[in-house]
Amino acid sequence: MEKNTDELLLPTHDTHKLLPPPHASKQLRTRPSTFSRLLAIGFIASLYFVPRLIRGRTVDTGPTAREDICVQEDPLTPQSHSALAGSLGERYDSPEFKQRAVEWLSGAVQIPTESYDDMGAVGEDKRWEIFADFHKYLQDAFPKVHASLNLTKVNTYGLLYHWEGSDASLKPVLLAAHQDVVPVNPSTVSEWIHPPYSGHFDGEYIWGRGSGDDKSGLIGLLSTVESLLEEGFQPKRSVVLSFGFDEEISGYHGAYKLSQHLFEKYGKDSFAFLIDEGSGYSGEGGAVFALPGIAEKGYLDARVTVATPGGHSSVPPAHTSIGILALIIAHIEEHPHTPQLTRTSPIYSALQCHAAHDPTLSKKLRTDIHKSLKSHKALKSVEKAIFSGSQAGSYKALLGTTQAVDLIEGGVKTNALPERASAVINHRIAIESSGSELVAHLTKELKPLAEQFNLAFSVFGANITSPTNSAGTLVVSDAFDKTLEPAPVTPTDAAAYKLLSGTIRSAYANGRGRSTGNKMIVAPGMMTGNTDTRHYWDLTPHIFRYGHADSKDHFAGIHTINEAQKADGLVEVIRFYTTLILNADESDKI
């Protein structure tokens, strides 16, 4: 997933240009590489920073705690399938099953299904061929899945498993994961405690690239279906598993093609809901908070290019194109977008839930959060609190449009004036904003500089200024012709969100909650990066980015050295998906 703060690689040009899906009415164009902070910023910022940043030194469990503000769904436990759920629950608690789950994930990790930014077309680039080995492994590891479900391969390596239900009138559910992993830097292999593709199990963690992102999700899903089939379960509501193979490079070969196939087969808004990788749960002090992502920020790479006359560097102008570009970059960084806490943000909803249910929250902040429902002054007070302190940067990234100058080029020789210099600015667009607002911001900020240096100025093809005797040009363009608007926000008052919330609470209560005694609270979360869900917008309005994992289940995060997944956490993923499938099968509301 791009779900990751530990990912430090920068977006680069995808040389295999693809067009956006024609049926994606709300999707303008789609962004380039997902080698950035996807799920991790959504995962860590939503789960780690929210509970910690808003906690104060004063513990208050008094009457100001208002649980009516963040009403929780009752834990949703399968009823007609209660005997089956109980039987599988006992199985999942056994050491034998945990060992089996470990072997499933370990075997998957041992196959290095790496995807690279410069991957060519399927059938031409031989680096894709490792996915055939991965498919062979899945076929051997999950025999009942492959004997009972209809498997369709899309663009050779995309996997669609159709588990046909007995009632065709019920909307199917769509559960997604991805097969690929980010590459391991060869120079870092010696720094791993256990080799990155060993799949080593030390009694607690399964080690290796992809153990957390996202083979634990994919193997968790297949392990769930295999276990249900072994118990003789046949669904009433169809279940579709969709596994892309290039999520880490934006999903154009995988999820994009899979979404086209599903759209042609099922049509618009044809699924009850979709769950893909995303944030999980975290907490202490008696309360654990799960924050399923209901939104994702948008994405735009803006290339800023300055062109001026060349010549010999022994007779230089006051500013070369590189010098002008440097001043432009400095100006842009000195004038960032202003983040703002709004009542429509999922982060605000999460804060309300903490005010209602977190016993470690300071009395003052709890009071301000409650008052902010109607008081603008109190809302600003809450904003000030979360925008100060050690984690202010993370909150500002969640709540505002961000900009990062990630690429730069210019000049060819020390004694030749550079005729052209350019930089690429990576933007993550706030969910309340848009691509057009971002373009307007760039236009406003750069027009004075264009006038100062007497440059002809154009932005995304629109001519802004054309001086008679210009000293050159300043052009702002879409760097890779792939721009993504912020995702549609999933409604939280609908049956799908309520089913997911009740399922999360039930799976936790019947799993880790038995030993911790903590109360699970579910609140809306959001993503700063992008997942494969960006290709599925037209299939359902009920899209969730959630992985049922504790923030402590990962040894060192994802997209980094020493990626490792707790075996106990993998079992909980399987418990969650089992509860989810059974609950969805019984529901007459989704």
Residue holding tokens 């060349």? 310
pLDDT of residue 172 exceeding 80, the answer is yes
Is 81 flagged in the annotation as binding? no
Tokens of 191: 């720094």
Q: What is the pLDDT of residues 203-255, one digit of tens each?
A: 999 999 999 999 999 999 999 999 999 999 999 999 999 999 999 999 999 99
Is 248 flagged in the annotation as binding? yes
Q: Which CATH fold would you assign to the domain 38-57+75-286+487-586?
A: Aminopeptidase (3.40.630)
- Structure-model confidence comparison of residues 195 and 35, the more confident one: 195
Specify the domain boundaries for CATH 3.30.70.360 within the chain.
Answer: 298-478
Give the pLDDT of residue 65: 52
455-459/462-465 β-pairing: antiparallel
Contact 545, 42 (CB under 8 A): yes
Strand partners, 158: 154
pLDDT of residue 427 exceeding 60, the answer is yes
Give the pLDDT of residue 60: 40
Is 178 flagged in the annotation as binding? yes
Tokens of 564: 């490792």
Is 246 among the catalytic positions?
A: no
Contact 556, 200 (CB under 8 A): no
Tokens of 291: 């924050």
Tokens of 432: 């309340």
Residue type, 106: S
pLDDT of residue 327 exceeding 50, the answer is yes
CA atoms within 13 A on the CB side of 215: 37
Closest CA to 532 of 62, 120, 180: 180
Given 247, 358, 383, 485, which residue is catalytic?
A: 247
Q: Which CATH fold would you assign to the domain 298-478?
A: Alpha-Beta Plaits (3.30.70)
Which residues does 543 contact at the CB level (< 8 Å), separation at least 6?
Answer: 273, 274, 276, 294, 487, 488, 490, 533, 536, 537
Tokens of 158: 């995309």
Q: Cα(308)–Cα(317) distance, rounded to whole angstroms? A: 10
Is 312 flagged in the annotation as binding? no
Give the pLDDT of residue 529: 80
User: By three-state DSSP, how is residue 163 classified?
Assistant: strand
Q: What is the pLDDT of residues 107-163, one digit of tens each?
A: 999 999 999 989 999 999 999 999 999 999 999 999 999 999 999 999 999 999 999
**Could you give the strand order of the β-sheet that contains 420-429, starting from the edge strand earlier in sequence?**
402-410, 420-429, 298-307, 472-478, 455-459, 462-465
Is 493 among the catalytic positions?
A: no
- DSSP string spanning 368-422? HHHHTTT-HHHHHHHHHHHTSSTTHHHHHHHHS-EEEEEEEEE-S-TTB--SEEE
Helix (H) or strand (E) holding 306, with range, is strand 298-307
Which residues does 137 contact at the CB level (< 8 Å), separation at least 6?
Answer: 107, 108, 111
Is 559 flagged in the annotation as binding? yes
Q: Is residue 67 very low, low, confident or very high in pLDDT (cuts 50, 70, 90)?
A: low
Predicted TM-score (pTM) of the model is 0.86
Exposure string over 312-332, b if 16+ CB within 10 A, otherwise e:
eeeeeeebbbbbbbbebeeeb
Tokens of 206: 């399964």
pLDDT of residue 186 exceeding 90, the answer is yes
Q: Is residue 438 very low, low, confident or very high in pLDDT (cuts 50, 70, 90)?
A: very high
Contact 139, 146 (CB under 8 A): yes
Specify the domain boundaries for CATH 3.40.630.10 within the chain.
Answer: 38-57+75-286+487-586
Q: What is the pLDDT of residues 18-30, one digit of tens each?
A: 233 334 433 434 3
Give the pLDDT of residue 244: 98
Contact 427, 484 (CB under 8 A): no
Given 7, 180, 301, 563, which residue is catalytic?
A: 180
Contact 500, 544 (CB under 8 A): yes
Max CA pair span of the chain: 86
Which residues does 575 contact at the CB level (< 8 Å), separation at least 6?
Answer: 89, 92, 507, 510, 511, 548
Contact 517, 286 (CB under 8 A): yes
Residue type, 317: P
Helix (H) or strand (E) holding 250, with range, is none
Q: Cα(583)–Cα(579) distance, rounded to whole angstroms? A: 6
Contact 175, 242 (CB under 8 A): yes
pLDDT of residue 64 exceeding 80, the answer is no
Residue type, 208: G
